[in-house]
Chains A and B, each alone.
Chain A
Amino acid sequence: MRTFGYTVAGSPADAVRIAASTPESTFVAGGTDLLNLMRDGAEAHDHLIDVNHLDLGERVDAGSRRLRVGASARMRQVAEHPTVRREFPVLSEALLASASPQVRNMASIGGNLLQRTRCGYFRDSASPCNKRAPGSGCPAISGHNRGHAILGGGDQCIATHPSDLAVALVALDATVHLLGPGGERTVPVADFYLLPGSTPDLETAMRPGELITRVDVPRTALAGRSRYLKLRDRATFEFAVVSVAAALRTRGRVVQDVRLAFGGVGTRPWRDAGVEAALRGRPLTGQAIAEAGRLLVRDAEPREGNRFKVELVQRALVSILSDLGGLR
C-alpha cells in the first residue's frame, strides 16, 4: 500500500473543497472496500479525506414523499430502520443479505454504492485489466468468469457490480445526490452506473471531486410490496451469483405496476424497461413471467463459466414474482 495523507473533513463543503485542492485524493467512510483495494494495489491514492464526521442531518429520514438516506448512514442503520423495514422491504432485505454484521456496522451507504467489482483480475495488480489499467486487456473473458456478467458486457470488460443495495435502489427509482466543485446535482440511480463500453474504467456518472451526500427513494405503495432474492455460493457473507429486486402491485390478477432489477448478471445493476412493460397490464401467470424472463436474457452473452446464469436468473424471476403475486 502506498503511503497516504489523511484529513478529517468537517462538512460536505469542506470535504469537496479539500478534494478539489488535493491531487490524487479520494473520500473514505467505512473503508471496508477502499482499504482492501489500496492494499491489493487495485487503487492507489495519495490522500484520503475522511467523510465519517460530516453533518448531513438525520442519517435516515422518512419524509411523506420520499425516504432520505444520508450517504454516511451505515448499512445496518438503514437495514434496521422501522420505516425501511415496513415500507421498503427490498431495501432492508438487500442490505441484510450483504456482507457480514461487522461490515454492515462499518460500511456507509455512499461507499456501498461505490464499491468496486470482485473480479479477481481487477483486484490482482499483476493481472491485465481494462478497468484498472485501460488497454491492458481482459483475462476474464477467456479465464475464470463464473462471477461475471451475461448482460451489458463486451470485449473490454464483463465485470459485475457487486452492490445488492444498488440493485434495490435501481428497482425503486432512487436518485443519488451529489455535491462537487460545480455545486449540487442529482442523478437517477439508473443513470448513475455506466456500461463498460470501451471505457470500463469509468463506472459512474460522478465527476471528479464529487461526493455522494444522500440517496432519495420515492415513497410509494409499490415500494411496500417489494422483495429481494439473493442466490449465492454460501449461506451468507458472499456476493450474489444472481439476485433480483422486485416490486409488484396487482389488481385481481392483473399487474398494475412492476419494478425489476437484477444483480450478479449485469455489468451494472440491471434494469430492463422492456421486461417490466411485458408484464404490466397483463394477468400475472407462469407463462407471462416466463416470457418476461426470456425477454430479459434475449441479448445475453454468456461465457463458459457463467452460462448457467441465463437459466438461473429466469428461475429467480419466476420465484420472486410468484411469491409476490401469490402464485404459490
Chain B
Amino acid sequence: MKSLVGQGVARVDGRAKVTGAARYAADNELTGVLHGFLVMSTIARGELVEIDTRAALAHPGVVAVYTHADMPRLTLPAFPYNRRFIPMQDTRVHHNGQPVAYVLAQTLEQAQEAANLVKVRYRAEDPVTRLEDALNEAFLPLPFRDRANESIRGDAAAALARAEVRIDRTYGSPMQHHNPIEPHTTTAVWDGGTLTLYESAQGVILTRKAVSDAFRLAPGQVRIISPYLGGGFGAKGPTYPHTLLTAAAAQLAGRPVKLVLSRAQMYTSNGHRAEYRHHIQVGATRQGVLTAIADTSTAQVTRTDENVFNSSDSTIHLYACPNVHVRQMGVRLDLPTSSYMRSPETTAHFGLETALDELSHELGIDPVDLRVRNHTTVDQRTGRAYGGKHLLECYRTAAEAFGWARRDPRPGTTRDGDEYVGWGMATETHTYNWNESEARLVIGLDGRATLRAATQEIGTGTYTVLSQVVADGLGLPLDHVTTLLGDTTYPIASVSAGSATMPSLVGPASNAARSARAAVIALAVADPRSPLHGVPAEDVVIEAGRLYARGDRGRQDGYRDVMARHGRGVEVRGGGTNSPGRSFGAVFVEVRILPRLGRLRVTRVVTAHDLGRVLNHRTARGQVIGGVTWGIGFALMEHTMVDPNTARVVNPNLSTYLVPVCADTPSVEALFVDRPDPDSTAALGARGFGETPGTGVPAAIGNAIHHAIGRRLREVPFTQDKLL
C-alpha cells in the first residue's frame, strides 16, 4: 500500500474550517456567560490616581467594573507568562494600552460602551519611546531562558583588523506586530476549585503552567482547551495578562466570562517584534572566504524586563567562520514587552544576508558562489557534523529553476520597458526546537483509531499530518483515524512554536501507532475465532485496515472484527525523544522597479528547502507561501508606528498596519530536497520547518533592489520614498 506520509494529502479539517463547523475558542456559547471588555491606559508611564466607574456601572447591562482594588492577589508566573508584572495588581502604569479596569456586562456591546465611560485620572511621567533617544543607555541584558546575549568564537576584532576586505554597515527594522486574523480570546469557567479556559493558545500546556502558577493551583485543577487557532505567529505562544485577568474576573463574578481583545488592543496586549538595529561587520579574503563576523544588535526592552527575543542565531551558525562575535544589546523604553514573532532569526538574518550581498558585490563574486564558498557541514555552534544537510543542493536547484545563470551581475543593466529588473537571493534557515511530548492512541470497538495529544493545530496542518503518520503506522485508511488536539486533558505535548510541533510529535505518534498495531495483531493471532489464529505475529501484514497472513492472503481479519471480538478498546501511549535542529533553504526573487515613481513589484519567487522528509507536500508548500508572504510584508510594508510623545500606537488596525494582499504576492515556485534527516529521531526523518521559509526573503528583495537600480537599502520597510 502506498504510504500517506509524503503525499499532498488534503487537510482533514479543511471542510470543518471553511464551513464554520470548526469551533474556535470564542465560538463557545456558554450559559450565563458575561462579556468582558478591558479599559486600557492612555499614558505610557506613571501612576493611577483615580478610576471613576460610576457612569460605567450605571450603564444598562453592566454587572461589574473591576479595578486593581478589587482583583485577587495573583502570583507572578515565570515564562511563558510574558510580562514581569501583572496589571491591575497595583497603581503602576508601565506602558500605553495596559489594562487598568475590567468591565463585565450582559453583552459585548454593553461592556465595550461601558468601558468608554470609565474615567481614569493619572499622574503621568514622561516616557522614553524611541530607540534612537536612548542608544547611549544600551546595555548587555542578562541571559534569557538560559541563552546568553553574547557569543564569542575566536577573535573577531583582530580578524577584522587584518581582513583583506571589510563590510561595516547597520541594518534596521521597525516594530512589527504578528496580526493573526483571529484575535486573542479567553473564556474562563470556574467549577469549585477548578478552572477551564477556552483559549486561543499556541501551547495549552504552557498556558496551564502560567495560569496554575498565577492562581496557586495544581496543574490538574486547570484545563486549557484550544482545538483550533486562527493564526498565532508567536503572538499566542506566551501567556498574557488578559488571560489571567479574565480568570480572575470570572472568579470574582462567580460566572463564566468571555473576553475577545479588539484589534487595537492586540497592539499592546500580546507582544510584538521589537525595533532592531544590527551593526554588522564582515571580514573576508579577496577570494570571498569569511574570516570574521561581528554583529551587535540593539533592541527595545522595557523597564520591567530585559528579554531579547530575536536572537542573532544566523550570524553564529550559518557560515563557516572562525571568528564571530555576537552581542545582543537592550535599550529600556516605556513600551510593552516584546516577544517572539514569526521567525525570530529574521532581523539578524536580514542584516547578515544583505551584508553578504554587499561583500559579493565588493569582491565581484556571484552571491550564490560566495555562499557556496562559505558553506559549512559542521554546526558552528557545537562543532558537530550535520548528519544530512543539503543546502548546496537547495542553491543549485533553486538557481536552476530561477534561471540565475542568465543574470548580468552589473546593477541597473536589466530593463524591461520603463522598469528595471533585479534578481536577488539569500539563504534561509531556522533552528527548530524539540519539546518532550507524548501521544495516546485508542483503537475503538469499531476498529477506528483516535490519537490524542496536547499540542495544537496552529493552522499549519497538524491534524492532517499526525493522522497520516498514524494511518500509515496502523495500516488504516486516513478516514479511520481521528486526531484530537489542544486540550490539557490529553498527554503533555509540545507548544506549537519554534517549528517544534512536527519534530516533537511525529515520533510519539508513529511509536504509538506501532505499539497499537502490534497489540491488535497480538489479539488476532491469540484469538481462536480469528482466521489468523496461530500465525506468528511477524507474519501478519496490514493493508487498508485488513490483516493478512503473509503468503496466504486467504487468511485475513479486520481491525473492526478483531476489536469487536475483543470487546474492549486498545489503548497505548507513544513517546520518544529528539533534539533541536535546523532546516535550510535558498530563496531567489525578481523585482521590477519604476524608479521615477518609486514603484516596486515582486514578480517572481523561487525557493528550495531542505527540511528532512517532507511529510505532506501540500502543507509544506502552504508553509512556504505563508513564509514568503510574511517576508514580503517585512520587506515592503510592515511597520508599527508609535507616537514619539505618548507611546501610543498610531496604526493599530489592518487598514493602516499594512500586510501584503494577493496583488503584492506572486505565485511561489516551492521546491523541496526531500530526504530523511538521519539526525532527527522523529521517525521518518522529519524536521521542523514552518519558520524557515521567509527568513531570507527581506534580504533577497533588498539584494534584488540593489541589482535593479544600484541602490542599497538597509532599513525595512522599503517604501517608495526610498526608491525614488
Complex: chain A residue closest to B417, CB-CB: A328
Chain B residue total in the interface (Cβ 8 A): 37
Contact A234 B661 (CB under 8 A): yes
Complex: chain A residue closest to B599, CB-CB: A231
Residue B648 lies at the interface, judged by CB distance under 8 Å to chain A: yes
Most buried by B among A2, A36, A144, A319: A144
Provide the bound-state CA to CA distance between A36 and B652, in Å: 13
Return the CB mask of A172-204 against B: 1 if under 8 Å, else 0. 000000000000000000000000000000000
Complex: chain B residue closest to A309, CB-CB: B721
Residue B658 lies at the interface, judged by CB distance under 8 Å to chain A: yes
Complex: chain B residue closest to A100, CB-CB: B661
Contact B656 A118 (CB under 8 A): yes
Complex: chain A residue closest to B644, CB-CB: A143
Q: Which residues from chain B contact A3 at a C-beta distance below 8 Å?
A: 60, 109, 113
Contact A233 B663 (CB under 8 A): no
Residue B413 lies at the interface, judged by CB distance under 8 Å to chain A: no
Which residue in B112, B641, B663 is a CB contact (below 8 Å) of A235? B663
Provide the bound-state CA to CA distance between A125 and B651, in Å: 13
Q: Which residues from chain A contact B651 at a C-beta distance below 8 Å?
A: 120, 144
Q: How far is the CB of B511 from chain A (nearest CB, A)?
A: 47
Q: Which residues from chain A contact B136 at a C-beta distance below 8 Å?
A: none
Provide the bound-state CA to CA distance between A2 and B112, in Å: 9
Return the CB mask of A255-279 against B: 1 if under 8 Å, else 0. 0000000000000000000000000
Contact A231 B650 (CB under 8 A): no
Which residue in A2, A120, A142 is a CB contact (below 8 Å) of B656? A120
Return the CB mask of B632-658 against A: 1 if under 8 Å, else 0. 000011000101111010111101101
Return the CB mask of A310-326 against B: 1 if under 8 Å, else 0. 01100110110000000
Residue B477 lies at the interface, judged by CB distance under 8 Å to chain A: no
Interface residues of B in 344-402 (CB under 8 A from A): none
Provide the bound-state CA to CA distance between A144 and B652, in Å: 13
Contact B658 A126 (CB under 8 A): no
Which residue in A2, A120, A235 is a CB contact (below 8 Å) of B650? A120
Q: Which residues from chain A contact B599 at a C-beta distance below 8 Å?
A: 231
Q: How far is the CB of B186 from chain A (nearest CB, A)?
A: 21
Residue B596 lies at the interface, judged by CB distance under 8 Å to chain A: yes
Residue A281 lies at the interface, judged by CB distance under 8 Å to chain B: no
Contact B655 A233 (CB under 8 A): no
Residue A134 lies at the interface, judged by CB distance under 8 Å to chain B: no
> Contacts A120-B656, A127-B648, A316-B597 given: A143-B643 contact, CB under 8 Å?
yes
Which residue in A126, A142, A315 is a CB contact (below 8 Å) of B596? A315
> Contacts A1-B112, A120-B641 given: A231-B658 contact, CB under 8 Å?
no
Residue B556 lies at the interface, judged by CB distance under 8 Å to chain A: no
Provide the bound-state CA to CA distance between A241 and B651, in Å: 15
Residue B678 lies at the interface, judged by CB distance under 8 Å to chain A: no
Residue B264 lies at the interface, judged by CB distance under 8 Å to chain A: yes
Q: How far is the CB of B43 from chain A (nearest CB, A)?
A: 9
Interface residues of B in 649-679 (CB under 8 A from A): 650-653, 655-656, 658, 660-661, 663-664
Q: Which residues from chain A contact B645 at a C-beta distance below 8 Å?
A: 139, 142-143
Q: How far is the CB of A319 from chain B (nearest CB, A)?
A: 6
Q: How far is the CB of B110 from chain A (nearest CB, A)?
A: 8
Q: How far is the CB of B328 from chain A (nearest CB, A)?
A: 28
Residue B116 lies at the interface, judged by CB distance under 8 Å to chain A: yes
> Contacts A1-B113, A41-B116, A144-B650 given: A118-B655 contact, CB under 8 Å?
yes
Provide the bound-state CA to CA distance between A228 and B186, in Å: 47
Q: Which residues from chain B contact A241 at a C-beta distance below 8 Å?
A: 720
> Contacts A120-B641, A126-B42, A316-B597 given: A233-B719 contact, CB under 8 Å?
yes
Contact A312 B720 (CB under 8 A): yes
Which residue in A1, A2, A36, A312 is a CB contact (below 8 Å) of B721? A312
Contact A315 B636 (CB under 8 A): no
Return the CB mask of A227-251 against B: 1 if under 8 Å, else 0. 0000101111110010000000000
Residue B16 lies at the interface, judged by CB distance under 8 Å to chain A: no
Q: Which residues from chain A contact B116 at a C-beta distance below 8 Å?
A: 2, 41, 125
Contact B661 A237 (CB under 8 A): yes
Contact A139 B720 (CB under 8 A): no
Q: Which residues from chain A contact B113 at a C-beta distance below 8 Å?
A: 1-3
Residue B724 lies at the interface, judged by CB distance under 8 Å to chain A: yes
Q: How far is the CB of B177 from chain A (nearest CB, A)?
A: 14
Provide the bound-state CA to CA distance between A241 and B720, in Å: 9
> Contacts A231-B597, A234-B658, A235-B664 given: A1-B650 contact, CB under 8 Å?
no
Q: How far is the CB of A278 from chain B (nearest CB, A)?
A: 21
Q: Which residues from chain A contact B655 at a C-beta distance below 8 Å?
A: 36, 118
Contact B646 A127 (CB under 8 A): yes
Interface residues of A in 288-328 (CB under 8 A from B): 308, 311-312, 315-316, 318-319, 328
Q: How far is the CB of B705 from chain A (nearest CB, A)?
A: 16
Residue A121 lies at the interface, judged by CB distance under 8 Å to chain B: yes
Contact A233 B597 (CB under 8 A): no
Contact B597 A236 (CB under 8 A): no
Contact A315 B724 (CB under 8 A): yes
Q: How far is the CB of A154 from chain B (nearest CB, A)?
A: 20
Provide the bound-state CA to CA distance between A159 and B641, in Å: 16
Provide the bound-state CA to CA distance between A241 and B112, in Å: 33
Return the CB mask of A160-182 against B: 1 if under 8 Å, else 0. 00000000000000000000000
Residue B601 lies at the interface, judged by CB distance under 8 Å to chain A: yes
Q: Which residues from chain B contact A312 at a C-beta distance below 8 Å?
A: 597-598, 720-721, 724
Q: Which residues of B contact A (CB under 8 A)?
A: 42, 60, 109, 112-113, 116, 264, 418, 596-599, 601, 636-637, 641, 643-646, 648, 650-653, 655-656, 658, 660-661, 663-664, 717, 719-721, 724
Could you list some 7 contacts between A and B, CB below 8 A?
Answer: A36-B655, A118-B656, A127-B643, A139-B643, A143-B650, A233-B717, A315-B724
User: Which 5 pairs show the lowest CB-CB distances between chains A and B?
Assistant: A235-B663, A120-B650, A308-B721, A126-B42, A144-B641
Known: A3-B60, A121-B650. 8 other contacts (CB 8 A): A120-B656, A124-B650, A139-B645, A234-B636, A237-B661, A312-B720, A312-B721, A328-B418
